[in-house]
A and B are shown apart, each in its own frame.
Chain A
């Protein structure tokens, strides 16, 4: 019989399941603790800080030192895309969804302009 899953696939499957369990840990713990602890405890504030800092480290890396197709876009294009997105956010009275679409559209436009040799 042909092997359907190679060892890399199994490794990835185990990874997704383990990461899912790790994520559920906090959800399940939250359900268990609800009604038993107060929300304003130092441990919870520390947990929130670590989670924010880690998310910021991920986002900074994806924007500044990306893997995959974003690495093909020059840094200056990514920075302009972020700048236009941020500018739109404040001009559009904090409509995050519209600002994200405008910023991402800007990056696509810059890439087209480069491809046809205008930049």
Chain B
């Protein structure tokens, strides 16, 4: 996948911002459109209103957490159970944010510098991160932040439009299409798990999380995600550390991590 860059030799922040905006309209845009059409359709089918579906795209800004929220509120789960589930499912943003922001240099500077860094943090999610990690080394320091802002704004803009599209489509289209739309996201993550996830600990986490989550769900639906995540993830972590003790090489950050 290639991403739109400012013209060679340019150092203008405005040109970088514009290039970032255009980059979001390419291939990353297609992935977001499919994903958020799927989420919009799911939100409608699970009884979430369109304004709340859009607000979740802006605030949670990552389909897995949004799917968890839509599903769990439809199941009648506890407020706290839902907030904790969404929060933990998004814990992967921490290891994603660290290497990306390392490209932006020192935090030193006034309030404006801090505000722009923390504001930029809100954009971190799979598609944004994958593209940004690819582009950052190619840009001079002064163009990095503007490019990221442009890219993030077009990613969220496209996703908001697709959320509306999926929501409306689910109310108008026949059941067969509706089924296909709500199937898009879980299938997408199944495929990512099957092909792109690297590292023994992460693969073990997926297997253990799925097995424990399914086993606990009929007994304890509110907390089955938490059980799968915390118990399954911890088992996988222990397995990974045991295996890691034998090979000393640190793992590369995985570019396809969801």
Contacts and interface: CB of A to CB of B under 8 A. Distances in A.
- The main secondary structure of chain B at its interface with chain A is helix
A75 interface: no
Contacts of B88: 50-51, 54
Interface residues of B, number: 114
Given A16-B56, A22-B87, A34-B98, A55 B73 contact: no
Interface residues of A, number: 79
Nearest to A27: B121
B52 to A, nearest CB: 5
A97 B237 CA distance: 30
A78 B233 CA distance: 26
Nearest to A114: B176
B89 A58 contact: yes
B118 A46 contact: no
B148 interface: no
B3 to A, nearest CB: 16
Interface of B: 30-31, 34, 42, 45-46, 48-49, 52, 55-56, 58-62, 64-65, 67-69, 71, 73-75, 79, 82-102, 104, 106-107, 117-118, 120-122, 124, 175-197, 201-202, 204-214, 217-218, 224-234, 236-237, 240-241, 250-251, 253, 257-258
Given A54-B209, A85-B187, 5 more contacts: A19-B59, A23-B87, A26-B92, A55-B206, A82-B190
Interface of A: 9, 11-31, 33-35, 37, 39-40, 42, 44-65, 67-70, 72-73, 78, 81-82, 85-86, 89-90, 94, 96-97, 99-101, 103-105, 107-109, 111-112, 115
